[in-house]
Amino acid sequence: MSSVRAPRKPRSVAKAGDPVRRIQFLSVAVVLVLMLFSGRLVYVQLYAGEALAADAQLMRTNVKEIPAVRGEITDADGVVLATSVTRYDIFVDQEFIANWKHEVDNTLLGGPTEAARLLSPILDIPAPELAAQLNGERKYKIIKKDVAPETWDAVVALNISGVYSTPFAKRSYPAGTTGGNLIGFVGSDSQGKAGLEYSLNDILAGTEGSLTYERGSKGHVIPTGEQSSVPEVPGDDVQLTIKTDLEWLVQSSLNAQVAAMGGTGGFAVVEDIKTGALYALADSGTFDPNSPDGFGGSKAISTIFDPGSTAKTITMAAAIETGIATPTSQYEVEDKYTTANNQTFSDSHDHEKESWTLTGIFAESSNAGTVMVGQDIPKQVRHDYLTKFGFGTATGIELAGEEKGLLAPADAWDGRTEYAVLFGQSVSVTALQATSVFATIANDGVRVTPHLVAGTTSPEGEFTPSVQPAGVQAVNADTAAQVLKMLESAVVDGTGGNAVIDGYRVAGKTGTAQTPDENGELNNILASFIGVAPVDDPRLAVGVFIENPKVSIFGGDAAAPVFAEVMSAGLQQLGVEPTGSVPDLYPTTW
């Protein structure tokens, strides 16, 4: 009997959704989305709009610094020693170059290859090399730096689209090596790095300006965008007291004498006695600020040495002013002298007992005689006179790197130092300080401040002279006159014969000093002559210093000839006529 299969249960089938409900759901979703966007829009417009707009503008805003024109440096007569000239860095937009064309013989030529062909002879770059630099997609590609204005003008005349330039100021030194160690140089940022360029940087540099503008996504300026600018303020021009012709002569004379003496270097100072204006502050050697390698600064303010006979000048002035001696006081002087505390001092050469006046001791540069006289000056008074003449204090010259020298307090002097300072040992000075001593004697005992800056000129053309401190009365005028007359005897009757100048009366003193080597040992020699002229009406003080002369270590041989040449030229430049007067000298012997 066959079985009968039971019938299957019917499958449940999902009913289709209600179209009305689906539409309602979608409508609600759309409304919610629209509300979300509307709310965001309201938030942006009412609350965040200003901030977002500011952010967008900030992204478009660019600030370009506008460098200030650096002031010029000129000499006393307006000769330009440092100036800024315009130069250009040339760059290209390679996309513009690719699309550039011009017509040649009714044919359109263009692109990097044609542009390179035209630019090559002007920029002195081989055409294939230049074409490679012009080809590409860069918006900014420098192809030539430091281009002269006439070269850029020639490039502009080609009218090649996509070739641009960035102008900049480059420092130039027309006088070259003349005064190079004095002028110094600037760095790539046009800020002073050495010499007067450094020490006067705040005056010369000016204040940079700025240009604020909007730019598009490709870096181009938006013509209708907001723009603002802050104008730059040019630096002041600086006029120096230096006379370029004299500076050149001093350098040339130093170079020749250093070579003739087998020395290692030399430096010199030329100072106006009445005003302290420096007409020359020169070093041997050649430094050109246009190629600033090997800058050595000014040794006249940075090298210190035992002053030797310069200090004897101060000792003589102190002895006369305190009433201890007169220029004609009489002494019997041997080549050695021993003090009460058993300190023995010797002259530079052996000699028999001499019958010298105070002037004779000075003219012969006797250490023994100077100690014999100076021992009666109280110790603190000796120190006071050295201080009055500027020892131990920087002159304040407008030049970085000045040393103030060394002068210990009187109560720190040991039993030998208290006498050694009388003839210029155990104390150190610079050439500028030493020359200032002689200028002070020749200026009726008034010490004025040596200076290099005559004044400044503003961008508006207004000249402002420099103001110097009032002079300091180091010794009275009568004392100064007596010492000046003694200094004249040192030239006529003493060791300064090579400093004589025809037609002019000269007063001065030779010197030989020890200076430290690189290890601090006193193994170097500095031969010097410092003097003033004309004695009738002193105008100039000149100090000449020769380092390590091999032919002769004496200042009368190594330095005095340069003094005579420089002093003669300086007096002629100032228009000082020869007097031809005959000196009335103090006796040197008795």
283 in a structural domain: yes
Q: Looking at residue 1, what is its pLDDT?
A: 45
34 in a structural domain: no
130 in a structural domain: no
Beta strands 237-240; 453-457: pairing state: antiparallel
Please check whether residues 357 and 495 belong to one and the same domain: yes
Choose one of 220, 236, 252: the last residue of a domain: 236
177 versus 29: the higher-pLDDT residue is 177
Q: What is the pLDDT of residues 553-567, one digit of tens each?
A: 999 999 999 999 999
Percent of the chain residues topping a pLDDT of 90: 75
What residue numbers bound the domain in which 176 lies? Answer: 55-85+171-236
Q: What is the pLDDT of residues 370-413, one digit of tens each?
A: 999 999 999 999 999 999 999 999 999 999 999 999 999 999 99
Q: Per the residue annotation, which of 190, 309, 366, 426 is the catalytic one?
A: 309
Please check whether residues 346 and 316 belong to one and the same domain: yes
Choose one of 186, 218, 236: the last residue of a domain: 236
pLDDT bucket at 496, cuts 50 / 70 / 90? confident
Please check whether residues 494 and 560 belong to one and the same domain: yes
Other C-beta atoms closer than 10 Å to the C-beta of 470 total 8
111 in a structural domain: no
Q: What is the pLDDT of residues 503-522, one digit of tens each?
A: 999 999 999 888 888 887 87
Q: What is the pLDDT of residues 127-138, one digit of tens each?
A: 999 999 999 999
Choose one of 236, 264, 286: the last residue of a domain: 236
Quote the CA–CA distance of 372 and 366 in Å, as a whole number.
Answer: 10
Task: Give me the CATH number covering residue 178.
Answer: 3.90.1310.10
Please check whether residues 366 and 217 belong to one and the same domain: no
Please check whether residues 202 and 301 belong to one and the same domain: no
Please check whether residues 251 and 222 belong to one and the same domain: no
Averaged over 339-349, what is the pLDDT? 95
92 in a structural domain: no
Q: Please check the confidence at residue 589 and state whether its pLDDT lies above 90.
A: yes
Quote the CA–CA distance of 17 and 81 in Å, as a whole number.
Answer: 97
pLDDT bucket at 225, cuts 50 / 70 / 90? low
Residue 300 C-beta-side C-alpha neighbours within 13 Å: 35
Please check whether residues 198 and 341 belong to one and the same domain: no
Q: What is the pLDDT of residues 175-224, one digit of tens each?
A: 999 999 999 999 988 899 999 999 999 999 989 888 787 766 555 556 66
CB 484 within 8 A of CB 288: no
Secondary structure tally for the chain: helices H, strands E: 20, 25
Backbone φ, ψ for residue 339 (5° rounding): -80, 175
Q: In which region does residue 405 sit, left (phi positive, over 0), alpha (psi from -120 to 50) or beta (all else)?
A: left
Q: What is the pLDDT of residues 73-94, one digit of tens each?
A: 999 999 999 999 989 999 999 9
Structural domains counted in the chain: 2
155 in a structural domain: no
Q: Which residues of 556-586 are buried (b: 16+ CB within 10 A; e: fewer)?
A: bbbbbbbbbbbbbbbbebeebeeeeeeeebb
Q: Looking at residue 432, what is its pLDDT?
A: 98
Please check whether residues 251 and 208 belong to one and the same domain: no
Q: What is the pLDDT of residues 431-466, one digit of tens each?
A: 999 999 999 999 999 999 999 999 999 999 999 999
Helix (H, G, I), strand (E, B) or coil at 44: helix
Please provide the average confidence, as pLDDT, over all residues in the chain. 91
Please check whether residues 514 and 382 belong to one and the same domain: yes
Q: Looking at residue 55, what is its pLDDT?
A: 55
12 in a structural domain: no
User: Does residue 309 carry a catalytic annotation?
Assistant: yes
Quote the CA–CA distance of 442 and 273 in Å, as a whole number.
Answer: 7
Q: What is the pLDDT of residues 262-271, one digit of tens each?
A: 999 999 999 9
Percent of the chain residues topping a pLDDT of 70: 91
Q: Looking at residue 292, what is its pLDDT?
A: 86
* Residue whose C-alpha is closest to residue 555's, from 498, 511, 509, 501: 511
534 versus 221: the higher-pLDDT residue is 534
Task: Give me the CATH number covering residue 398.
Answer: 3.40.710.10
Averaged over 10-20, what is the pLDDT? 57
280 in a structural domain: yes
Averaged over 95-111, what is the pLDDT? 93
Please check whether residues 192 and 300 belong to one and the same domain: no
Please check whether residues 406 and 383 belong to one and the same domain: yes
Q: What is the pLDDT of residues 144-153, one digit of tens each?
A: 999 999 999 9
Query: Which has the minimum average pLDDT: 23-27, 426-430, 447-451, 452-456?
Result: 23-27
Please check whether residues 308 and 260 belong to one and the same domain: yes
